[in-house]
Amino acid sequence: MRPTGNGAVKLTLTGVEAASNSLDGVFVSGQFSFPPGTVDAVVVDSKAVGNGTTGFNSFSTSGHAPTSVMLTNSVSIGHGLAGISASSSVAILRIGHSTVSGNEQTWTTSGNAVIETFGDNYVTGNRTAAPRFRRAPRGDNHSTHQTEKSLLRANVVRFAPESGQMADRLGRSASCHEQL
């Protein structure tokens, strides 16, 4: 999605599968749009599989429209560049209850872009060890705060930072680079 002008553009993807495309699976860009315009995407129950570059990409450039992607209960698998990506200081990608696996890199950021996690993702089996997600800040806004609190209560995983392992209540472990 690459809107122009300065309108508020909202995209909702539910149950969408973007697979085997040459470039990104889902590309959300505010690059050609200007404030007060905004570009906001919510992706739920969706899959990006085996696309050439990135599964889900939140992209903008400085001075252009703030761009956000909220990724929930979704999957990004097997991409040539990265599972998820965000570019520029006005772009953000938030991810919760999702899987990022089998990608060349877990994620990429550039230009002070932010990727935030709600701490309950499955991040494993990516070729390049990734830096840790930034945790979604408390009090970012009311809804984020409430969501994070509920996730924390429902969280069934523990994180052992020394080993880079994540284990569930039953003691099963899996490799994980996510900071909880």
Q: Is 73 in the site for other proteins (CB under 8 A)?
A: no
Interface residue with other proteins among 10, 127, 138, 149 (CB under 8 A) is 10
Closest separation between CB of residue 61 and other proteins, Å?
A: 17
Closer residue to other proteins, CB minimum distance, 11 or 151: 11
Structure tokens at 60: 């903008």
Environment class of 170 (CB within 10 Å of its CB; exposed 0-12, middle 13-18, buried 19+): exposed
Q: Is 92 in the site for other proteins (CB under 8 A)?
A: no
Closest separation between CB of residue 41 and other proteins, Å?
A: 9
**Span interacting with other proteins, options 4-12, 118-126, 147-155, 161-169, rule CB under 8 A:** 4-12
CB count, 10 Å around CB of 102? Answer: 17
The binding track of 22-61 with respect to other proteins, each residue x by CB under 8 A or -, is: xx-x------------------------------------
Residue type present at position 71: L
CB count, 10 Å around CB of 175? Answer: 13
Closest separation between CB of residue 93 and other proteins, Å?
A: 18
Q: How far is CA 168 from CA 31, 87, 125, 129, 155, in A?
A: 40, 33, 18, 21, 9
